[in-house]
Chains A and B, each alone.
Chain A
């Protein structure tokens, strides 16, 4: 068969349908604009493979945003090639607005089949649609589906071959009147009581109640993240590393004779004849323990909580509440989404800056995230360094980062050229997250993290070992002493940690802990390590998402801010 394009308004479930059809998992969330670039996959049916393309959501074929431009140009190309069928995905609970795109699509005279998605929800919201009648009116096949639960997908697949050009005729000038006409014949709305979700809807966007709700939700999420993370460590990762892995590594250590270059590389330094997973700095010890035993449990628990918030539809509402503050920083409220994703790992955070429209917004959001939003690896590092000094030290580090985030945002808003449009975003209805889909998304993000983190930690550990054995770290330490010791008040030994921090922040802990720094030095080291550079993985993604010139600018901002903040902390602490 030909190619299959999935096309429809934003947030109507195209990505969920795409996953259903192809088995290729793409990130789907409950807010508009999750897909900015298209995804491709294959539908296998009766032994044949057909290409399926998930097109970014669009409200019309007159593009007003990047996602809509992508959608429109893909459409036009498919129409010229004349080799595709179009599955128009419609949110059945919001027919009027969705039919606006459908009618424009019918005019294009291409083979169309319609999926009336969110069919299961129509009963709850009191929408009744006469599908047969709608089919007769629009003159294309229509199938009711629930992409998330899988209902109707088989029927859609078997009827794909029935897709056809519509003979429905209307005057495009009167499109909205025509839609009203169609709906009056096919849709009945029944009165019903406000659902539970609608009631929480009201309180979550009113300023008076919305802010307490937001604080409650964030605190609750934080508690859940800690609980799941700590449980994973206590009951899974600690026993795994201490009971199973450590004895095995000790055997290897004995085999290697407890010393020598290879021992140093694989196992690292022994502390009192034992392995110290954080400080030993060998490939098999620190190299594996840091990403898997220390950071991964919190990445898992964090993305579990965040995915839940994403799929519930809460995040755009949070975006509305923080819009005011963020507007003054040159980005609008929806930029809270890449920031929050960045708290897990800056890599998906950097990719999520795509939901912002202009180059200026993306630049500000990416720079702020890379400098002042600590990812889980950085948070693990901060806790590892200053956690033993108690809450005040932690508050000093995170408070400083938060202040830098705001102040730098205000400065960038005044200095960066370009425009930042005001918020203009559809707020999706609250939905109960569908756990099977949520766990798939969580699994994808965990794989992402492992693919990004483990190799770089291993390379980091390798490089540290080589640089140390060649004396290069001491050499650079001497060279950068005026900056590091003179301005920021850190011992020159700390330079090794800063070098490896280019690759991974979490490994740097193991290098700073043995230095016996004071609380003040630990606070400065934590802030500086978080700010001066994201990590090589984020850096590479940012070059792709922004461009080399903007990334050089962002890097200069990072270095200047870091030296300024490090110097100020050294003066005032």
Chain B
């Protein structure tokens, strides 16, 4: 296991979600869009200066703020 948060991996990497931090409401919100523990996601890009991160889950593309990306822990070794 090589656990990092979404801001720490490079764009283009495919990773598996291992943990989602944050409140119940937040986890429900991301679950509804298909982002949950076990989902396979691709990081598409990250804007400079702690800007938003864009990811792809299935065929959904999502832009999330930097501190939201920090709450999503992924395993870079296990896709």
Nearest CB of A to B69, in Å:
9
| A319: Cβ under 8 A from any B Cβ | yes
Docked-complex contact A96 and B66, CB < 8 angstroms: no
Contact with B along A317-351 (1 / 0, CB 8 A): 00111011001000011000000000000000000
B31, B52, B63: most-surrounded residue (chain A CB, <10 A): B63
A-side contacts of B45, CB under 8 Å = 205-207, 210
Q: Which of the candidate stretches A272-280, A401-409, A423-431, A558-566 sits at the interface with the other chain?
A: A423-431
The majority secondary structure among interface residues of chain B is mixed
Cα A206 to Cα B12 with chains together (Å): 11
A-side contacts of B14, CB under 8 Å = none
A-side contacts of B61, CB under 8 Å = 426-429
For B53, the closest partner residue in chain A by CB is A320
Of the candidates A60, A101, A205, A422, which one forms a contact with B54 in the assembled complex, judged by CB atoms under 8 Å apart? Answer: A205
Q: Report the number of A-B residue pairs with Cβ-Cβ less than 8 Å.
A: 96
Interface range for B: 20 to 34
| A29: Cβ under 8 A from any B Cβ | no
Docked-complex contact B49 and A324, CB < 8 angstroms: yes
Docked-complex contact B47 and A424, CB < 8 angstroms: no
Docked-complex contact B44 and A97, CB < 8 angstroms: no
Interface positions, chain B 34-79, Cβ under 8 Å from A, are 34, 36, 44-52, 54, 57-68
| A19: Cβ under 8 A from any B Cβ | no
Docked-complex contact B50 and A324, CB < 8 angstroms: yes
Docked-complex contact B62 and A206, CB < 8 angstroms: no
A-side contacts of B50, CB under 8 Å = 324
The answer to whether A100 and B32 touch (CB under 8 A), given A206-B11, A321-B47, is yes
Cα A64 to Cα B51 with chains together (Å): 23
| B28: Cβ under 8 A from any A Cβ | yes
For B69, the closest partner residue in chain A by CB is A422
Of the candidates B31, B47, B62, which one forms a contact with A324 in the assembled complex, judged by CB atoms under 8 Å apart? Answer: B47
Docked-complex contact B36 and A423, CB < 8 angstroms: no
The answer to whether A422 and B47 touch (CB under 8 A), given A62-B28, A97-B60, is no
Docked-complex contact B32 and A323, CB < 8 angstroms: no
Cα A210 to Cα B54 with chains together (Å): 13
Cα A428 to Cα B46 with chains together (Å): 17
Interface range for A: 35 or more
| A176: Cβ under 8 A from any B Cβ | yes
The answer to whether A427 and B63 touch (CB under 8 A), given A62-B32, A64-B25, A320-B52, is yes
Docked-complex contact B47 and A207, CB < 8 angstroms: yes
Nearest CB of B to A534, in Å:
30
B-side contacts of A427, CB under 8 Å = 54, 61-63
The answer to whether A324 and B28 touch (CB under 8 A), given A97-B60, A100-B34, A176-B36, is no
Cα A59 to Cα B49 with chains together (Å): 30
Docked-complex contact B36 and A424, CB < 8 angstroms: no
A-side contacts of B59, CB under 8 Å = 93-94, 96-97, 125
Q: Can you list 22 A-B contacts with CB-CB less than 8 angstroms, sorted by A residue number? A: A59-B33, A60-B32, A62-B28, A96-B34, A97-B33, A97-B60, A100-B32, A176-B36, A207-B45, A319-B63, A320-B63, A323-B63, A323-B65, A324-B47, A324-B51, A324-B52, A327-B65, A422-B52, A422-B68, A426-B61, A427-B54, A427-B61
Chain B positions near chain A (C-beta within 8 angstroms): 11, 25, 28-29, 31-34, 36, 44-52, 54, 57-68
